[in-house]
Structure formats: structure tokens, C-alpha cells
Amino acid sequence: MMSQPLPNEMILKWAEERPDDVYLRQIINRQFVDFTYAQVADKALRLVSALRSMGVEPGDRVALMSKNCAEWFITDLALMLGSYISVPIFPTAGPETIEHCVTHSESKVLLIGKLDDSKAVNSVLENHQDLPTISFPYSSAPPCKYEFNTLLSQHEPFKDYPQHKPEDLMSIVYTSGTSGLPKGAMLTYGAFAWTTQRLIDHIGMQDDERLFSYLPLAHITERVYIFGSSVMAGMQVAFPESLDTFIDDVKMHRPTLFISVPRLWTLFQQRILEKLPQGKLNILLKIPFISGVIKRKLADGLGLNKARVLGCGSAPVSAALLRWYESIGLHITEAWGMTESFAYSTINHPFRSEKIGTVGNAGPGIEIKIADDEEILVRCAGLFSGYYKNEEASKECLDDDGWLHTGDIGFLDDEGYLTIQGRKNDTFKTAKGKFVAPVPIEKRLFELSNIEMMCVVGSGMPGPILLAVPHEFPDFDYERYERKITDIINTINVEVESHARIKGVLMIEDPWSIENNLLTPTLKIKRHLLEKKYHDIGANWPKDKLILWEKDLPKKS
């Protein structure tokens, strides 16, 4: 069997075979700034020489913190070509997470790029005066000891190309930390290359595809599906200029493959419905000739009219949202995986409408089985090799037979399509000693309501309560909203077992965000923090009230 080529070999191959083809397109001042394969390889090899001149040795860890941009890809490739171990950090990470990633990995250099806010990283750097820093050429990057382009211009391309073995460590990716400090998942070259190649083959990616990179590259999904597949298959990638210009940026590039997360698909839906209310949309979609025109117009308005494959992953998505997109002619493929399985385990591809609600079936090369306690186990050649400096956690996660214990619970249908019911750890026990799994209840609530964010909590409380961030409407009618929520809760409470019935709904005043530490950088809700924050309210819920508004509660002194 031929051994799988590795990403560091592939960038050199494309630079030699297709030197003048455009690989990366960075939007700056509403224009594309293009980088060919030859230019990307040249810049990456110059960065290797620069790092060597700074005394950074092969095997050293190098941290990287930036929003998506061409320089992120160039740096990642340079770290492979220089035999360094990359440590990506979320551009929205707070001081505690940045400090943990840099210190725990013992990173020797930190490259910093596009950021919405550099306060967090600056506060950490005050305690690391000796740590060399390199800034990408963007005004939002904080001042650093070295500047990326200047550094590259001062060095010749590195000539001593590395020979990596499949088991060599490529990167330490810190998980997004929904429950405490992130753990560093160790990713090897072989597992990374194996996974990306399976995806390329399964989806049938061509070299003329156009990808769009905007989900955080510190997260495994973007790193594998976009960065990994683009390098391995030689596909063009564009990067947005900013969040404000996002839809226009997508329109400029017209990607053929586009991946998003539930939160953004929901925002796109809201944007469409603000211009074209559902009642009107329903009527137009029923008229044969008009229906096709409307569908094309909506896809065009999102910049997705050329998209061959649309994807969704990284958090649970409601079947109702995917059905809505299907109604306007956009088929969204749901996939499931985790950092430890390189974000590739199951995928609903080719798209099957009747399998919406599942996360697809096992991708080629993946084995899946359900343990006696309903935990989902995964085995394949594309698994992480353990947690950095944490043997105990590694042993809990990877067993002697090579099965990854995912911590998710679920079941397979007779065609092997997987339905996920939540995290094993999310299940909580009420004060009555009864176990409740919140995720199926939340999924059902999403289907019945238009609440933007929600979380069912109840550990040690008399019964579960729903924390809900209501959607902002102009002319908000509180009474009407409460009546609607009451109807929804009554519907749900008939469907679930008596101990799982929702006892109360708390309408949250301030939306959860990365900034207030209630969402992870991948927009997952930090359930354990919400449990803690609202425990007392849930434990003392008034018997005669279903709905309380947080803004009306007495403030804690």
C-alpha cells in the first residue's frame, strides 16, 4: 500500500507543478490580494529560516493566535516545513485560556494576527516579556517584537526539507473547554493526512473548487475540512475582510463548498425572514415558476448559488432549521466528529432528506459502535494520539482496543445513521434523584420556538428549568410572547416523562457570548457555568409562576 503524502509535501508539490495558480485570496480594502502556490511555499520556507535564526529548534512548540487569513495558512505550513509543533489559540480566547495554552505547551514563539480585540493577549504578554512575538500585517494585530513581512524579507527560503513519519506530532489543539480548562489533543501528520484524504475522496472534491475560510482555524473542523483539504487537493481558498462585510465577501468568492455552524445558519435564516416573512415565502414557494426564481434569488443573496456542498457541524442543529433550508432549495449536510477524531466520524453525504435529524452515517474508514451505556465509540486511522501531558485523561478516552470513547450518547438506525442525544456528562440529576437528558428536550424546543439560545438546567433542583435568551423583535409584546412560550412548554411537558417536565422558564437579560464567558470560542454553551449561576433561582422557583424575566428579579448586592 502506498503511504499517504503529508501536507508539507503537498504544498511543495503544488508549488512545483502549479506555481502560478492562485491558492489563497485575502480580501483587503474590498479587493482580492492573491497568493500563488509558489508564493505561499516561498513565504512559508522563509518563515522557517526566520524561526531558525531566532533559535527555535525542530520539535519546539510555536503558538498562533489570529482570525482566519492567508498568513495563518502560510504559518501552519511553515511550522510543518520547519518540524515545529503548532499550537493554535482561538482569536476570541480570554486571558486564562491564552495563558494556559502558551504555558502548558511551553511555546517558544507566539504569532499574532487579525483580532477583534487584543486586550486579552496583551495582558498575558505582560507576564511573558521574554516570549518572542511576531505580528501579521493587519492593523488589528498588537505591536510585536517582529513584523511578519519584514522578517520574511530578511531571510532566504529554508532548503532542508523535513521527512516526517506518520506518527510524528504535528499540532497540539486545545479543545474548546465546555467544562473547565482546555485539554491539548495531540495530532499526528499521518492521522491528519488520512482524515483529509478520506473527506476529499468521499465528497469528491475537485481541484477547481473554491473554499471560504472563516470559522476559527484553531478549531478542528476548519483546520481539517478547509485548510487540510485545500492543501491536500490543491484547492483555492478565500478569507473574509471582516464580520461586517461577511456576506459581501462570500458573494465576491462564490464558494463551491461552504461549511457553517448552527448559529450562523440561524442568523442567515433570520436575515432572509426579515426581508421576506414566512407567510409570504410559503405562498411564493407554492407557485411553480416563481418558486425556482425565489430559490435562486435567496441562494444568490447569500453568495451560495454556486455551492455544490453545504455543511453544518460543531454543535447540535435542529432538524426544523435544516428542513427550512431544504424548503428554499439549500441542502445542508450535517456532520459530526470531535477534536479527538479530527472532526470526521459521520456525515450525511450524499445528502439524504429522510435522514435529517441524524448526523449521517460513518464516513469511509470509520467504525462506530454503541456501548452498553449508550456512549458512542469511534475507531479509525484518524484519531488523536492522546492529551499532551495528561496520561490519565488519555487512558479514559482511548481504550486498549483503539476505540475512542466520545462522551456523546446516541443510537444507530438500521442503516447505520447516528442520532445524538447529548453528552453523557450533560445528563443531570434533579433533587428528586431522577436523571434528565437535556439535549433532546432542547432540540424539541428549537423546533417549536424561535428562541435564539437556550439551555435546560436542573442539577439538584426540584425540576428542570429552561434558560432562554429571547429573540429581539421591534415592538416587543411581552404578554403575547409569554402566551406563546406557555403553549410551547405545555406541549413539551405532555411529551416527556413526568420528572423531566419543565418547571419554569427564566428569560435571560443579557445574551450569552464569548465575552461574558458563557460561550466557548466555537459558540457552544458552557452548561456547567449556567447551572452554577442560576442554581439558586431554580432551587427556589415560585410554585405559581411558569415564566420569570431576569430583568425583573431583585439584583444581588
- Is 240 a domain residue? no
Same domain, 419 and 437: no
State the residue range of the domain holding 28. 8-231
Residues of the chain above pLDDT 90, percent: 75
Closest to 357 measured CA to CA, from 387, 326, 330, 386? 326
The pLDDT of residue 475 is above 80: no
Same domain, 267 and 296: yes
User: Phi, psi at residue 448, to the nearest 5°?
Assistant: -90, -20
Same domain, 175 and 263: no
Between 13 and 446, the higher pLDDT residue: 13
Query: What is the rounded distance in angstroms from the CA atom of residue 467 to the CA atom of residue 550?
Result: 10
The pLDDT of residue 307 is above 50: yes
Closest to 237 measured CA to CA, from 260, 262, 261, 257? 257
Same domain, 221 and 268: no
**Tens digits of residue pLDDT in 378-402:** 999 999 999 999 999 999 999 999 9
Same domain, 164 and 48: yes
Same domain, 396 and 438: no
273 exposure class (CB count in 10 Å sphere: 0-12, 13-18, 19+): middle
- Is 242 a domain residue? no
**Tens digits of residue pLDDT in 273-286:** 999 999 999 999 99
Grid cell at residue 505 = 422558564
The residue-averaged pLDDT of 456-463 equals 89
Query: What is the rounded distance in angstroms from the CA atom of residue 557 to the CA atom of residue 549?
Result: 18
| Location of C-alpha cell 504555558 | 103
User: In this predicted structure, which of 27-41, 62-76, 146-160, 308-322 has the lowest mean pLDDT?
Assistant: 308-322
| pLDDT range class, residue 179, cuts 50, 70, 90 | low
pLDDT computed for residue 1 by the predictor: 41
Domain at 216, CATH number: 3.40.50.980
Examine the fold and report which residue of 402, 424, 446 is the final residue of a domain before the chain moves on: 424
Closest to 363 measured CA to CA, from 387, 346, 338? 346
| pLDDT range class, residue 262, cuts 50, 70, 90 | confident
Same domain, 15 and 123: yes
- Is 189 a domain residue? yes
| pLDDT range class, residue 4, cuts 50, 70, 90 | confident
Neighbouring CB atoms inside 10 A of 207's CB total: 11
DSSP state of 499: G
* Total structural domains within the chain: 3
Same domain, 271 and 136: no
Same domain, 148 and 74: yes
Contact status, residue 435 vs residue 428, Cβ threshold 8 Å: yes
| pLDDT range class, residue 532, cuts 50, 70, 90 | confident
- Is 183 a domain residue? yes
pLDDT computed for residue 444 by the predictor: 87
Query: What is the rounded distance in angstroms from the CA atom of residue 323 to the CA atom of residue 344?
Result: 23
Examine the fold and report which residue of 401, 424, 447 is the final residue of a domain before the chain moves on: 424
Looking at mean pLDDT, say which of 298-312, 429-443, 493-507 comes out highest: 298-312
DSSP state of 338: -
Closest to 347 measured CA to CA, from 332, 362, 357, 325? 362
Same domain, 372 and 275: yes
Same domain, 130 and 160: yes
pLDDT computed for residue 432 by the predictor: 77
The residue-averaged pLDDT of 141-149 equals 97
